Homo-oligomer: A and B are copies of this chain.
Amino acid sequence: MQTEKVDKKEQIMDAAQSLFAAQGYEGTSVRDICQHAGVNVAMVNYYFGSKEGLFEKMVEHKASFMRGKLEELLKDQELTPVEKVDRIIGIFVERMFSHRDFTLTVTREMSKSKRQSVHEMMAAVFFRNMSLLKQIIEEGIRKKQFRKVDSDLCISTIHGTIANLISAELMLKMLDPDLNRSVNLYEDPSFRKRVIHHLRSVMRHHLLKESN
């Protein structure tokens, strides 16, 4: 079946994504992935050529969710720069939380020197999204609506805050024991709201010449 085939490849990529997130790339064996995906060990090499090929294809496939909306945002003439930043923060939090396995994996593997090509591919995927944010901030500065902030480091602040919340779940729950109430913190709408509100507040205070 056509659908069957697609399913197997996707099953493998799904299993890979969650196992890579939980155990890291090297900490996850192909056997592990195939067992979770319910397919034969040889299928990974049959479909993806190698474990590394699977990783690359998985990143490419899963990264697609990030593309699209951001470009529209940039072109929208109706929105003010601060509204754009507000929206971009919302999109980032929603997407990175929804795809936290992917976020975790990419964040972690991006800083390794092994597998240079994968490394660069991931940097490029992120770079694309991040440079849009940079353009929006610089647009705000040009329009004199924003202070002359360090746009590159603003990106690290936004992205770093969200990534940190995902990777340091345990520490976060030690700091705020209330968070243990949520069965799944990142799917809890009130937590998402809290994070979005915090980040928007931080950025508004930082970017706008007169704080609200």
Contact = CB atoms under 8 A, between A and B. Distances in A.
Given A164-B160, A165-B156, A123 B25 contact: no
Given A111-B167, A123-B174, A157 B153 contact: no
Q: What band does the interface of chain A fall in when counting residues whose beta carbon is under 8 Å from B?
A: 35 or more
A156 B24 CA distance: 22
Interface string A146-167: 0001101111110111111111
A99 interface: no
Stoichiometry (number of copies): 4
- Interface residues of chain A: helix, strand, loop or mixed (majority): helix
B111 A166 contact: yes
A120 B168 CA distance: 11
Interface of A: 21-27, 104, 107-114, 119-120, 123-124, 126-127, 130-131, 134, 149-150, 152-157, 159-172, 174-176, 194-195, 197-199, 201-202, 205-206, 211
Interface pairs A-B: 10 shortest CB-CB: A160-B164, A160-B160, A26-B26, A205-B205, A111-B167, A153-B198, A26-B27, A123-B170, A160-B161, A156-B164
